[in-house]
Amino acid sequence: MRLDRFICKSTALSRQEARAVIMQSRVVVNGSTDVHEAFQVHENNHITLDGKPLKPRPSRYLMLHKPAGFVSSNVDGRYPSLFKNIDIPDTDNLHIAGRLDRDTTGLVLITDDGRWSFEITSPDTHCEKTYRVTLRDSIREDAVQQLEQGMEIQGMKNRTRPAKVEILTPKEVLLTITEGKYHQVKRMFGATGNKVVALHRQKIGALNLDIKVGDWRYLTSEEVCLFQTNNQMELS
């Protein structure tokens, strides 16, 4: 975790105030003030502010059912931020573990635990994401084979990883992938000559979306552990 984020998570200071106390050499990490705002720290480091040890608050883990028309951002722009649906303090310290496009609906996981979200978003962890995909045209058998074998997509350096395809109706499928490149699902079906007309993420790993559109809830400790490695749990 960045040092400025660690301070925000351990005090009532804003990000700007945290950076100020670091610059003033009031923060000591393992006996040294030779640190900067982006300095990476961990829970087992000894960190003090004005001589007082800092201990971060417990991390927060949320599930949200994203409606269409909201952007996966902490900041409102042309379209509203999905964080407008979350009525808790300090949402600026939260981030999304796997963004969704503005027109895509479904399961979004939100946290202030960077290592936890890495387990979800890194292709190296092979965390599965399942989408309900509504198509313009009926899916062809050869398209299913392309998706399941991995395919080349214009603008992507490597082939996509093999996907899992479950046909619900001729124009509706469940697609499960273990990576999440820019507009990947839409681009995969586009490469087969089809078009995605609606996209909904309903599952991440073993976690299913179980709340109404626009609602959110905290994850249980058991659900949080679904995305924690043994190493993470030892450090938490």
Q: What is the Cα–Cα distance from 67 to 102, expressed in whole angstroms?
A: 9
Identify the top-confidence range among 68-77, 121-130, 226-235.
121-130
Which of the residue ranges 22-26, 89-93, 100-104, 174-178 would you say has the lowest mean pLDDT?
89-93
DSSP string covering the chain: -BHHHHHHHHSS--HHHHHHHHHTT-EEETTB----TT-B--TTS-EEETTEE--PPPP-EEEEEEPTT-BSSSS-SSS-BGGGG--SS-GGG-EESS---TT-EEEEEEES-HHHHHHHH-GGGT--EEEEEEESSPPPHHHHHHHHH----TT-SSPPPP-EEEEEETTEEEEEES---TTHHHHHHHHTT--EEEEEEEEETTEEP-S-TT-EEEPPHHHHHTT--HHHHHH-
- Residues with a catalytic annotation lie at 101
Q: Where along the chain do the CATH 3.30.70.1560 domains lie?
A: 128-204
Percent of the chain with pLDDT over 70: 97
Q: What is the CATH number of domain 3-53?
A: 3.10.290.10
pTM score > 0.95 for this model? no
- Determine the average pLDDT of the residues in 57-76: 91
Is 90 exceeded by the pLDDT of residue 43?
no
CA 67 vs. chain centroid, Å, equals 16
CATH 3.30.70.580 is right for the domain spanning 61-123+207-235:
yes
Q: Where along the chain do the CATH 3.10.290.10 domains lie?
A: 3-53
Superfamily of structural domain 128-204 = Alpha-L RNA-binding motif (3.30.70.1560)
Q: Where along the chain do the CATH 3.30.70.580 domains lie?
A: 61-123+207-235
Predicted local distance difference test score (pLDDT) of residue 231: 40
